[in-house]
Structure 1
Amino acid sequence: MLVDDDAIVLLGLQSILKDWGYDVLAAGSTDQALERLGTANRKPDIIVADYRLRGGRVGTEAILRIRDLFCSDIPGVILTGETGPECAQDAAAYGFSIAHKPITSHQLSLAVERLLSNAAD
């Protein structure tokens, strides 16, 4: 599950992940992600969410709400361009990884593979 309110970033990340063979559901908001996951009727293996979403929402909330939907500790990674402590503290409080923008495809690959391998353990 990929959540980012910037359509260009969302499409770019979705394209990269699909090229790597992942089946990707993409959404521009938390509510849209929940709706798409409900329609798809399947639990995601991982959630990648931008930290700052529209309407004062944040990616940690998106990950937590998706986890609640499936009653499961689905691995989550926060993407952010922020350098201040707020995002890092928020992500750390829930045990989420952080990847800083701009993110290279190599960095994204490492973050996704690390979370998926930890989830399999």
Structure 2
Amino acid sequence: MDDEPFIVEGLSLLLKGWGYEVVAAQSIDELAQRLPAIREVPGLVLADHFLPQGGSGIEAVEMVRRHAGAPVPAIILTGDTAPERLAEASARGCGLLHKPVQVAPLRDAVDKAMGKGAGQGQGQA
């Protein structure tokens, strides 16, 4: 989840290339519209910290977790390097990666969050 269409598209293509099914959204409102169609517990939420209209990646994670009724793993992406971002993500049980995110660390974080060994795809992100 990101507010920039090209980032959403790029991350979606990357995750699909790794074998994951992707449900993408650019805002909290778009996520709320897509959630009812998601019948399985997602394997991961990947969200930008700052979203349009004052929304946050943490808010997106909590929305998905409430919908799923499960503690879905999550990774927050942010260009904000303030220690508060890490503390906020950690307090909510989320991983955190600083932008610009490189492919290898992203792959490692996704695999770790989903409980997979490096390079093993499949599942829903």
- Whether the TM-score (by the shorter chain) exceeds 0.5 is yes
Matched residue, 1:34: 32
The alpha carbon displacement at 1:32 in A equals 1.4
Following the alignment from structure 2 to structure 1, what is the Cα–Cα distance between the partners of residues 98 and 13? 19
Residues 2-81 of structure 1 mapped to structure 2, 5 A cutoff: 3-81=1-79
| CA–CA distance in structure 2, aligned partners of residues 18 and 97 of structure 1 | 21
Aligned residues of 1:60 and 1:78 also touching (Cα < 8 A): yes
Structure 1 match to 2:98: 100
Partners of 2:88 and 2:4 lie apart in 1 by 21
Decide which structure has greater helix share.
1
| 8 Å CA contact retained: 1:47, 1:77 | yes
**How far apart, CA to CA, are the structure 1 residues paired with 2:40 and 2:34?**
10
Unmatched 5+ stretches in structure 1: none
How much does 1:100 deviate?
1.0
Q: Tell me the distance in 2 between the aligned counterparts of 1:96 and 1:88.
A: 9
User: 1:66-112 deviations in whole A, cap 9, x for unaligned?
Assistant: 10111100001000111112321211211210011111111110010
Does the 8 Å contact 2:42/2:68 carry over to 1? no
Q: Which has the higher contact order (CA 8 A, sep 6+)?
A: 2
Q: Aligned pair count?
A: 116
TM-score by length of 2: 0.86
Question: Percent identity at matched positions?
Answer: 36
C-alpha contact 1:37 1:43 (8 A) present in aligned 2: no
Offset from partner CA, 1:4-38 (integer Å, 9 cap, x none): 11111111111111111111110001221232131
DSSP 3-state at the match of 2:21:
coil
Rounded to whole Å, the distance in 1 between the matches of 2:38 and 2:92 is: 26
Q: What do you get for the CA RMSD once the two structures are aligned?
A: 1.3
